[in-house]
Structure 1
Amino acid sequence: MYAEALNTYQVIVKNKMFSNGGRLKVNMANIYLKQRNYSKAIKFYRMALDQIPSVHKEMRIKIMQNIGVAFIKTGQYTDGISSFEHIMSTSPNLKAGFNLILCYFAIGDREQMKKAFQKLITVPLEIDYDDKYISPNDDPHTNLLIEAIKNDQLRQMERERKGMAEKYIMTAAKLIAPAIETSFAIGYDWCVEVVKASHYVELANDLEINKAITYLRQKDFYQVLYFKKNIFMNIVLAEASEGMSTMWLGNEFAQATNYADLAVISDRYNPSALTNKGNTVFANGDYEKAAEFYKEALRNDSSCTEALYNIGLTYKKLNRIDEALDCFLKLQAILRNSAQVLYQIASLYEIMEDPNQAIEWLMQLISVVPTDSHALSKLGELYDNEGDKSQAFQYYYESYRYFPSNIEVIEWLGAYYIDTQFCEKAIQYFERAALIQPTQVKWQLMVASCYRRSGNYQKALDTYKEIHRKFPENVECLRFLVRLCTDMGLKEVQEYVTKLKRVEKLKEIREQRVKSGRDGSARSRREGSGSGDSGGSAKGERLSAKLRALPGTNEPYESSSNKEIDASYVDPLGPQTERPKTAARKRMDEDEFADEELGEDLLPE
C-alpha cells in the first residue's frame, strides 16, 4: 500500500519536532524506487543525505549507492559515476566498484574501465584466510576447537563474501575484456595479469579457461589447443584434460583417449576424470573395462550421478538388465525428475517384457516432458502391442502433433484410419509422408488407393497419372491405370497397356541380363576364362541387338507379347474389408406374379 505509506511518512516528517526525518525519507525514496519514479527517488535520497549527520558514515554510503543505482536506471551514467567514485575513494566496497565498471562500460571509456577494475580488485574483504583452520600441532583441544569452527555461521558468512567477490570480479573481467583492447584475447590477457598480481590469484586460471571457452564458441579450435600448454601447468590440469577429452570425443577418438589418460594421471581420485576415461573406453566397445572406471569413480564420489548413469548404460549393453535397472532406480531416487533416467527405466522394463511397468514409467516421463514426441510414440506402440487401439491412437496422434515428420508414426496413423474404413482421413497422413520422402513411390500409391477406396475415381486417376509422370517405370502404377481406365471406359487404356508391356519387357530383359551375368561369372570361375568365349559372345550379341531395338521400335513387344496383358495388381493398402450387407434381400423372378390378376382394391385410385 505504497500511497498510504507515503502519506503517513509525509505527515510524520512535517513535524519539526521529529529528529529522525532523514531516515524516514530514505524509506520514502525506496518506495519511489520500487514504483520506478526515479527522479523523486533521487530527490528524497538527497534530502535524506542532507539530514543524516556525517557521523553515520555507513548509512550515508548506502544512500549514495542507492542514488548511483537510480542514476543508472535513468541512464544518467555520468552522475552515477560521480556517486560511485566518491564511495570508492572514501569507503570502497564490491557492489559500488562493480557498478562503477558498468557505468564506464556504458559510456565506452576504456582507460577508466581498467582503473575501475583495479580498484575492484583491491577492495578488502575483511575476512580471515584458511590458515586459521589448520591445526599447528597435535593438541586435541585445539583440534576440537578448529573442527567446531570449520563450518560455523561466521565461516559460512566468510565463504559467501568470498564467493560474491569472485563472482563480481569474474563477471567484470568477462564484460570488459572484449572492450578494453583491440581484441578480446588481449583484453583477457590484461585482466589475467591484474588478477595474478592480487590476492585473487586462483581466479586467473578460471579466466584462462573462460578465454578458451570463448574461442570454442567462435569455433577456433586451434587457439583452444594452444591454451592447453598454459592450462595444464596449473592446478586445473585434470579439469582441463577432461574438457579437452570431451571436446575431441566426437571427432578424433585417439585425441580424446590421450587427454582422458592425462586427466586420470594428473588426478587419479577425480571422479569426472575417471568417468570421462570410462566414456572413451565405452566408445571403443570395451564395456567391461568401462564399467570398472565408472565403479572407481563411484568409489571416490558416491554422488557422481554421471558415473552411475553411464554404468547403467554399460550394464544395458552387456545385457545385465537387472543390474542396469538397479543403477537407474538408485539414480531416480537422487534425480527425481530426470527425463533420461525415467526413459531408461521404462526401456529396461520393456526389454524385460513387462509392458505395464514400462507404460507406468513412461507416463511419469511425459508428466515431466509432456511434449516429447518419442516418449509419446513409444507409449502408443506399447498400447498397440497390448491391443488397446484407442489409447494407442491418442498417444500416436499427440506424438504426430508435436513432431509431424516421424514416418513410423505417420504410417501407423494412416493404417489406423484404413482399418477403421475412414480412407479420406488417411490421405492427409500419406500425403505428409510423400512430402517427407518424395522419392518413395509407395506413399503416393497409398494416397491414390485411398481416393479409389473412398469412391473418388477421378481423383484417383489423376493421382496415378501424376505418379506415372514422376515414376514412368513403376509397374504397379501402370497396372492401376490400366484397371481404372478399363473400368471407366476411357480411350487411354490402350496407351497404358502398351506402356505396361514395354516396362515389363524392360524389367524382364534387365533380370535376364543380371542372371546371365551371374551365370557367366560362375561358369568362368568353374571352367576358366578360355572355355566359354564363343557362347558368351553369341549371347552378348543377341542381348545387345534386343537392347538396341527396344528404344526405337515396338516390334520386340508386339512379336513377343501375343498373350493377354496381366493387369493384376496388389493393393498397397491391403485387401479391402467387405462391408456388411444390411439391406440384402432375395431377388424374386420377374414373372413370379405374371399369372395372377390384380384386384380392384390393389390398383391406384
Structure 2
Amino acid sequence: MDINDVKFSVDRFEKMINDNSLLFFDSFEFESIVAHYLENGKIEYARKAIDLSLNQHPTSSSLILLKIELYIHEDKINEADELLNSILINENLNEEICIVKANILSKKKLHYKAIEYLNKILAMGENNNEIHYLIGIEYLFLENFVKAKSNFINSLNYNSSDHGTLYNIIYCFEMLNKKLNSISFLNNYLDRNPYCEISWYNLGKQYVSLKKYEEGLNSFDFAIISDENFTSPYIEKAKILQRLDKYEEAIIIYKKLLSVNKTSSYAMLKIGHCYEKIGNSSNALAYYYKSVHYDPSTDKAWYRLSKYFLKNKNYKKANDYIEKAIRINQEKPKYWKLYLKCASLISAKN
C-alpha cells in the first residue's frame, strides 16, 4: 500500500475506535495499520489493531507474526515463542518465520541456535544481504569477530552503500587489532566507492593510529571533499595539526568546521587553545568566551578561562571560572588543584 492508502486505512480505523463501531478491513490493510503503529511507537493502537485483525482473520499467518513482533517489542519473549511454535505446526518454514524465530532465540541469548535458523534462509537462497548482516550481529554477541566480519563483508558485497555494515566491519578489525588489514580493506573498498566519506574518515583514523600522519591528513581531506558537511574529518585533521604544533593551520581547519557548524563550542574552545599556543591572548580569550556562550556546560572552556586569568593575576575571576568548571565536572583532579591554588592566592592577597 502507498502512503496515502495507509493514511486512509489508519484514519478509518481510528474513526471506528472513536465511534465504537465495527468495520471490516482486509488482512493487507490490517498489516499496514499495525506496521504504521509499531513504526510510530503507538503500541496501544497497535495492540487494538492486532486483536481486531485476528478476530476478522484468525488464520492469517502474517497477522499472527505481527502479534509476535508486538510481543517481542514488549519483551514478552516466551509468549512470542509459544505463539510462533503454534504457527510452525501448520506452516512451512519460510524466510519471515525463520527471521522471527532467530530474533526470539537471540533475545533468549541462544545465539548459535539463532544462527542455525538464519543459515536455513541462506540455504533457501533468500535475501542474502539482510541475512548475512543478521548472522554477523549474532556473532558479535558471541564475540566471534572473525565470523562476524566475514558475514558483514558478505552483506556489504550485496549492498556496498550500507554504512552501518561498513562501521561494523571496521569495528571487527579494531577488536581483532588488525589495523593493517583494516587499511587494506578500506583501500580496496574505496577503489570501488571513491566518494565514500565514511571510508576515507575511518582510513584516516587507522593511519593516525599507526602515526602515519601525512596519509591520515590526506584521507581526511578526501573525506571532506566527499562530503563537506561531515564534521568529524575536520576535527580529526585539526587534532593532527595541533599534535604536529601547526597551530595556525589547525585554526584554519577549526574555522572551516565553524562554517559547517556555526555553534560548535568544541571548535571555539580548540581555536582559543591554538591562539593561546601561538601567543595571541586576546583572540584566545575571545574564543573561550564564545565557547561558553554557545554551551555553558563546556567545563574545559571554563578551565581555560580560569587558567588565563590566573596567569594574568586576576585571581577572583580565575576562582569564579574554575568553580563553574567544577560544578559541571567534579571528577577532574586538575580542576581541584587549580581551585586550591586560586583560593590560596586570594587568601594571601587579602
Pair 1:442 & 2:304 matched: no
Deviation of 1:381 (Å): 0.9
Retained in 2: the 8 A contact 1:312–1:325? Answer: yes
Show the counterpart of 1:185: 80
The one-character-per-residue Cα deviations of 1:477-498 (angstroms, maximum 9, x if unpaired) are xxxxxxxxxxxxxxxxxxxxxx
Show the counterpart of 1:256: 145
1:199-238 alignment runs, 5 A limit:
202-204=95-97, 207=100, 211=104, 215=107, 222-224=109-111, 226-235=113-122, 236=128, 237-238=131-132
The one-character-per-residue Cα deviations of 1:218-246 (angstroms, maximum 9, x if unpaired) are xx6x2445422322333345313432455
Deviation of 1:205 (Å): 5.5
Show the counterpart of 1:389: 281
Q: In 1, Cα distance between the equivalents of 2:178 and 2:72?
A: 45
- Give 3-state SS (helix, strand or coil) of 2:120's partner: coil
Give the AA of the match of 1:232. Answer: N
Deviation of 1:286 (Å): 4.0
Show the counterpart of 2:41: none
Show the counterpart of 1:422: 314
> Which has the larger helix fraction?
2
377 and 67 in structure 1: CA distance in 2 versus 1, 3 angstrom threshold: closer
Give the AA of the match of 1:333. Answer: I
257 and 99 in structure 1: CA distance in 2 versus 1, 3 angstrom threshold: closer
Give the AA of the match of 2:275. Answer: Y
Task: Using CA pairs under 8 Å that are at least 6 residues apart, name the structure with larger relative contact order, 1 or 2.
Answer: 2
Deviation of 1:369 (Å): 4.4
383 and 187 in structure 1: CA distance in 2 versus 1, 3 angstrom threshold: farther
Show the counterpart of 1:242: 136
Show the counterpart of 2:11: 69
The one-character-per-residue Cα deviations of 1:509-550 (angstroms, maximum 9, x if unpaired) are xxxxxxxxxxxxxxxxxxxxxxxxxxxxxxxxxxxxxxxxxx
Q: In 1, Cα distance between the equivalents of 2:62 and 2:291?
A: 54
450 and 314 in structure 1: CA distance in 2 versus 1, 3 angstrom threshold: same
Show the counterpart of 2:223: 331
Q: In 2, Cα distance between the equivalents of 1:119 and 1:389?
A: 73
Q: In 1, Cα distance between the equivalents of 2:10 and 2:118?
A: 39
Alignment TM-score, normalising by the size of structure 1: 0.43
257 and 192 in structure 1: CA distance in 2 versus 1, 3 angstrom threshold: farther
CA RMSD, aligned part only? 4.6
Retained in 1: the 8 A contact 2:307–2:318? Answer: yes
Show the counterpart of 2:51: 110
- Give 3-state SS (helix, strand or coil) of 1:233's partner: helix
419 and 191 in structure 1: CA distance in 2 versus 1, 3 angstrom threshold: farther
Ranges in structure 2 where 5+ consecutive residues have no aligned partner: 38-43, 123-127
Structure label with greater radius of gyration = 1
415 and 247 in structure 1: CA distance in 2 versus 1, 3 angstrom threshold: same
Deviation of 1:382 (Å): 1.0
- Give 3-state SS (helix, strand or coil) of 1:345's partner: helix
207 and 278 in structure 1: CA distance in 2 versus 1, 3 angstrom threshold: same
Retained in 1: the 8 A contact 2:203–2:216? Answer: yes
393 and 240 in structure 1: CA distance in 2 versus 1, 3 angstrom threshold: same
Retained in 1: the 8 A contact 2:234–2:257? Answer: yes
Q: In 2, Cα distance between the equivalents of 1:234 and 1:376?
A: 52
Ranges in structure 1 where 5+ consecutive residues have no aligned partner: 1-61, 123-168, 458-605
Q: In 1, Cα distance between the equivalents of 2:184 and 2:288?
A: 40
Q: In 2, Cα distance between the equivalents of 1:439 and 1:348?
A: 26
1:283-432 alignment runs, 5 A limit:
283-302=175-194, 304-351=196-243, 353-370=245-262, 372-400=264-292, 402=295, 404=297, 406=299, 408-432=300-324
Q: In 1, Cα distance between the equivalents of 2:87 and 2:262?
A: 46
Q: In 2, Cα distance between the equivalents of 1:68 and 1:263?
A: 37
